[in-house]
Amino acid sequence: MIRRTHALAAVGVLAAGLLVLSACAPTKPAGGDTDVNSLALKGWTQVDTADLKDGGTLNLATSDTPFTAGSWNPNTGEGANADAFTMESVQQGSPVKIKTDGSWTNDPNYATSVKLTKDDPQTIEVKLNDKAVWEDGTPITSADYQATFAALSGKDASFDLASSAGYEHVDSFTPDGDFAFSFTFDAPYADWPNLLIAPAVPKAIASDSNAWNTGNVDKPLPSSGPFIYTGINDSASTYTATVNPKWWGDKPKLDKITFTVIDQETQAQSFVNNELQAVSVLTPDAYISAQKKSKAVVLRSGGTTYSQVTFNGTDDLLSDVKVRQAIAHGINRDIMGQAANKPLGAPSAPDGNYIFMPGQKGYEDTAGKALGYDPAKAKEILKADGWKNSGGKWTKGGKTLELSIVVPQGTASNELRAQQIQATLKKIDIKVTLNEVPGDDYFTDIIDGKFQLATFGWQGTAFPVSTAESLFYPEQKPGDQDGQNYSFVSSDKLKDLWSAANKELDPTARLKLTSKINDEVVKVVGMLPLYAYPNVYVVDGDLANYGPATFEGVDWTKVGFKK
Question: Do the domains 27-91+218-302+536-561 and 96-214 sit in the same CATH topology, yes or no?
Answer: no
* Burial classification of residue 515, based on how many CB atoms lie within 10 Å of its CB (0-12 exposed, 13-18 middle, 19 or more buried): middle
Residue 52 CA, distance from chain mean position: 31
Cβ atoms of residues 347 and 301 within 8 Å? no
Residue from 507, 514, 525, 512 nearest 469 by CA: 514
Cis upstream peptide for 350 (omega within 30°): no
The angle subtended at Cα 10 by Cα 9 and Cα 12, nearest 5°, is 95
Question: Could you tell me if 19 and 416 are in contact, meaning their C-beta atoms sit under 8 angstroms apart?
Answer: yes
In angstroms, the CA 194 to CA 255 distance is 31
Residue 500's SS3 state is helix
Half-sphere exposure of 450 (CA within 13 A, CB side): 11
Spatial contact of 323 and 385, defined as CB atoms under 8 Å apart: yes
Phi-psi label, residue 525: left if phi above 0, alpha if psi -120 to 50, beta otherwise: left
Residue 22 has what DSSP assignment?
G
Instruction: Rounding to the nearest 10 degrees, give the CA dihedral for residues 190, 195, 197, 199.
Output: 180
CA–CA gap between residue 30 and residue 47 (Å, rounded): 24
Q: How far apart are CA 319 and CA 222, in angstroms?
A: 43
Distance of CA 313 to the CA centre of its chain: 22
Give 305-490+526-532's CATH code, choosing from 1.10.3720.10, 3.30.420.40, 3.10.105.10, 3.40.50.720. Answer: 3.10.105.10
Classify 49 as helix, strand or coil.
Answer: helix
**Residues paired with residue 530 on neighbouring β-strands, in sequence order:** none
H-type alpha helices, 168-318: 203-206, 209-214, 264-272, 284-290
Q: How far apart (Å, rounded) are the C-alpha atoms in residues 114 and 195?
A: 12
What topology does CATH give the domain 27-91+218-302+536-561?
A: D-Maltodextrin-Binding Protein; domain 2 (3.40.190)
CB contact set of 245 (below 8 Å; sequence gap of 6+): 228
Q: Of 5, 70, 148, whose CA–CA distance to 483 is shortest?
A: 5
> Which pTM does this prediction carry?
0.77
**Three-class secondary structure of residue 498 per DSSP:** helix
Residues in a beta bridge with 537: 280, 299
Class of domain 96-214: alpha beta
Element of type H or E holding 440: helix 439-447
Q: Is 449 helix (H, G, I), strand (E, B) or coil?
A: coil
CB 182 within 8 Å of CB 116 = no
Phi-psi region of 55 (alpha: psi -120 to 50; beta: other; left: phi over 0): left
Per-residue pLDDT of the chain (563 residues; tens, 9 = 90+): 665 443 333 222 222 222 222 222 222 233 333 344 467 889 999 999 999 999 999 999 999 999 998 999 999 988 988 899 999 999 999 999 999 988 899 999 999 999 999 999 999 999 999 999 999 999 999 999 999 999 999 999 999 998 888 999 999 999 999 999 999 999 999 999 999 999 999 999 999 999 999 999 999 999 999 999 999 999 999 999 999 999 999 999 999 999 999 998 899 999 999 999 999 998 889 999 999 999 999 999 988 889 999 999 999 999 999 999 999 999 999 999 998 888 998 878 889 999 998 777 888 999 999 999 999 999 999 999 999 999 999 999 999 999 999 999 988 889 989 999 999 999 999 999 999 999 889 999 999 999 999 999 997 778 889 889 999 999 999 999 878 999 999 999 999 999 999 999 898 999 999 999 999 999 999 999 999 888 999 999 999 999 999 889 999 999 999 99
The residues spanned by each domain of the chain are 27-91+218-302+536-561, 96-214, 305-490+526-532
- 8-state DSSP, 251: P
Omega of the bond leading into 474 within 30 degrees of 0 (cis): yes
